[in-house]
Structure 1
Amino acid sequence: MALLGDAAVAMWWNVAQDHQTEFHEWHSKEHLPERLSIPGFNRGSRWQRENGGDFFVIYELAAYETLISEAYLARLNNPTRWSKTMMPLHRDMVRSQCRVVASSGRGVATYMSTITLSPQNGQHARLENYLRPVLAKLPERFGVTSAHLLRTQTPQVATTKEQQIRGGDAIADWIILVSGHDASSLRTVASVVLNRDTLCDNGAETSEYGEPFRLIHTMTPQDV
């Protein structure tokens, strides 16, 4: 399995250009090490679109129960002074706590495409049954190294201090991640293999796309 665990936190946001230098320093020097010191956090990575300040961050978790662990909730409810300064700068925040439905491929490559989608009413099984074999074969394509399907399942816990600072987060539903070393290959996957019409014909109601993100920094517990 390419993703390191059975659950994940997938997040998108943007940061104004004037604050990006400090944001990168904070996220690399404090936030990633803080998260990867929590038991159950197996890998964290930050990605950025090359044409702006849009970010994608994913934390790969050993198990879904990590999302409600005392250690994780303690961090979410006790942000550092630097985090309190940076959290309000996260704009248009989307934060999804997910189960990993399917994952194939190897390692971490340079680029990541994200597609967010929702199934049509009553079409959950049909859409999943279509996506599983398609995603399993994607790493065989030139320039593609991995493909994953996540499904959001938000734990029933009280709003945390970090969420309060950000002013509330939007949530994605289903998430497709496709990674590779060639950005044009990922664009082809999005426009040909996983385009809106194809997904709609196989049970998707809505889908959102964007330019691939480029890897900025990744970390595992061994780096902390």
Structure 2
Amino acid sequence: MKTTSSNERNCMQQALAPRAQLCVWTGVDPDHEADFNRWYDREHMQERVAIRGFQSARRLRALDDAGPRPYLALYDTEDIGVFTSAAYRQAFTKQTEWSLRNFARMRNTQRRVGQLVVEAGEGEGAFATVAVLPAMPAEIEPLRVLLEGLCAEGDAIHASVLATDVPLSTPLTAGAEAPPADAVVMVEYSTADAACAHAPALAAALGVTAASIHFFQTLWRLGAR
């Protein structure tokens, strides 16, 4: 009896309905950083995973000099339709007072919503490399093959590509602009050493500079109930 590999399962799932993701990459006013972290940890993530269609929420912090954006929050959903649902629209338009205070304190925020057009491997790694491609590649298959190879033969645990949906990536913070139709590539590992060791080759394969690869460690994760 033929068994189905994890990559084959991922491909079949994506062919039916790719998962989607909200990616918020931000800095914060240092005078209010403690309250910002409490808000994220005690209210905001719980609110989001309670919305129908949300699967999980995860917070990460940069290990390297990520410049003005040391915090990364990821919210995985069943599909892109979750972000146009009535439940999400209500949460998006009726923010709590605590949320509004912290939105005002966020700095240099990049908010992206899009489909996970590539997912390879299984699970989640504690450490991740993240790169932003200036535009979604015209041909996705070479990128899929690259990331599946990293997960199948290398030290990578999971890899994904978020294709930014510009109309859905409405900024929430003052002065922020909607991102272009770019793409976020994330490769996850079980150790920081593995993430660092593979970063130069990843940058070369993606056609970006080594300085544009950033390193993150997971702070915590919350799954939907």
Per the normalisation by structure 2, the TM-score is 0.81
Preserved contact between residue 14 and residue 55 of structure 1 (Cα < 8 Å):
yes
What is the deviation of 1:73? 1.1
Which sections of structure 1, spanning at least 5 residues, go unmatched?
A: none
Say if 1:70 and 1:18 are closer, same or farther in 2 by CA, change over 3 A: same
Note if 1:56 corresponds to 2:56. no
The secondary structure found in structure 2 opposite 1:195 is helix
Q: 1:101 to 1:5 in 2, by over 3 A?
A: closer
- Over the aligned positions, Cα root-mean-square deviation in angstroms equals 2.8
How many residues are aligned here?
A: 208
Deviation at 1:167, TM superposition (A): 3.4
TM superposition score normalised by structure 1:
0.82
Please give the secondary structure, in 2, of the residue aligned with 1:212.
Answer: strand
Structure 1 runs of 4+ with >4 Å offset: 2-5
- After TM superposition, give the deviation of residue 138 of structure 1 in Å: 1.2
| Rounded Cα–Cα distance in structure 1 between residues aligned with 2:168 and 2:155 | 39
Partner SS for 1:178:
strand
Paired residue type of 1:213: F
Contact 2:54 2:77 in 1 (8 A): yes
- Name the residue aligned to 2:165: 153
Secondary structure, counterpart of 1:124 in structure 2: coil
Q: Tell me by how many angstroms 1:64 deviates.
A: 0.7
Shift of 1:46: 0.6
After superposition, the C-alpha distances for 1:12-71 in whole angstroms (9 at most, x for unaligned) are 111233322111111011000000111111111010013576111111010111111111
Structure 2 counterpart SS, 1:79: coil
Structure 2: gaps (5+ residues):
1-9
C-alpha separation in 2, matches of 1:17 and 1:143? 35
Identity of aligned residues (%): 23
Query: Which stretch of the first structure deviates more once superposed, 111-120 or 211-220?
Result: 111-120
Check 1:216–1:5 CA distance in 2 against 1; reply closer, same or farther (3 A cut).
farther
- Mark the CA change 1:42 to 1:186 in structure 2 (over 3 Å): closer, same or farther: same
Conservation of the 8 A alpha-carbon contact between 2:83 and 2:168: no
Q: Partner residue of 1:199? A: 206
Alignment of 1:76-91 (within 5 A): 76-91=92-107
The one-letter code sitting in structure 2 at the alignment partner of 1:147 is: A
Asked whether 1:28 is paired with 2:48, we answer no
